Amino acid sequence: MVSIAGSKKLKRQMAPTFWGITRKDKRFVITVRPGPHSKNYAIPTAVFLRDTLKIVSTLREAKSTIYEGKITVDGIKRKSLHHGIGLMDVVELEGISDIYRLVPQDSKILKPIKINDSEKSKKLVKVTSKTTIKNGKTQIGFHDGRSSISDKAMNVGDSCLIQVPEQKIIDVIKLEKGSQVIVIKGVNTGQIGSIEEIKEGTFMLPKRVLIALGERKIELPATLVMLVGKDKPVIQIR
């Protein structure tokens, strides 16, 4: 049989630093297979357990935990070693009271933080596409591969607070002046600020936002930030 969807392994030296793996070890490490998140912005489930959280010490232990259905991502059991865990995903582990959400922090694209039990069914997703389908309905695409048919008013760049795994939209956070954002890529990754100004894109330049980060202001493409609230973050991201 032919291999499907590329290789299952990656050279350690090529792995993203936010995975937390050691560099001087075995030559190869498990990689992310095609799924909800981009390959360069996700952590394989097995690596997440062994190297990021360090709750297991070997790949054999990680396999046992995953295959027995002991790991849940956004309310759904995941039994693949290669499933990509990415931005704003909520992870639960059977037998462990701690619940984790992956957020940008300390210049790392993804870092697990512990959250309260009341937050495990809430997730922020960024609107990445908006399409009109049959019967004039609107289909919304989100950053984690989800899609939803909704009559709520929203545009690309907005964020939605959803309930998982039901995928029910609880609230829409509009891309507008005063809204709170978190930087998801670049040298300012993980910093939270408020929007001072929105600059529409041109043929040569993408849509940009002027953000107040403490005492300084920076201008970034809208694709590098994610809305997290109107006056303050609507979920726990610290």
Contacts of 188-197 with C-beta under 8 Å, sequence gap 24+, read 188/213, 188/218, 188/220, 189/104, 189/105, 189/107, 189/108, 189/109, 190/103, 190/104, 190/105, 190/106, 190/107, 190/108, 190/111, 192/228, 192/233, 192/237, 192/238
CATH of domain 180-229: 2.30.30
Mean pLDDT (the chain, rounded): 92
- pLDDT per residue as tens digits for the range 193-217: 999 999 998 888 899 999 999 889 9
Q: What is the mean predicted confidence (pLDDT) over 210-237? A: 94
Instruction: Please return the burial class of 135, using the count of CB atoms within 10 Å of its CB with bins 0-12, 13-18 and 19+.
Output: exposed
The Cα 27–Cα 105 span in angstroms is: 28
What strand order describes the sheet that includes 138-142? 147-149, 138-142, 122-132, 159-163, 168-173
pLDDT at 229 over 60: yes
Instruction: Decide if pLDDT at 88 tops 70.
Output: yes
Gap between the Cα atoms of 148 and 141, Å rounded: 7
- For the chain, list the strands marked E by DSSP: 9-11, 28-30, 42-44, 71-73, 76-77, 84-86, 90-93, 99-105, 108-115, 122-132, 138-142, 147-149, 159-163, 168-173, 180-183, 192-199, 208-213, 216-221, 225-229
pLDDT at 162 over 80: yes
Read off the pLDDT band of 1 (50, 70, 90).
very low
Tallying the residues shown for the chain, one arrives at 238
Residue 25, pLDDT score = 77
Domain extents in the chain:
9-118, 122-173, 180-229
In the predicted model, is pLDDT for residue 3 greater than 70? no
Judged by DSSP in three states, 17 sits in: helix
| pLDDT at residue 2 is higher than 60 | no
For residue 224, pLDDT beyond 50: yes
pTM reported for the whole predicted model: 0.91
Per-residue pLDDT tens over the stretch 117-132: 999 999 999 999 999 9
* CATH superfamily, domain at 122-173: Ribosomal protein S4, central domain (2.40.50.740)
Contact in structure between 12 and 26 (CB atoms under 8 Å): yes
| pLDDT at residue number 73 | 97
Question: Which pLDDT band, with edges at 50, 70 and 90, does 89 fall under?
Answer: very high
CATH of domain 9-118: 3.10.290.10
pLDDT of 37-79, one tens digit each?
988 899 999 999 999 999 999 999 999 999 999 999 999 999 9
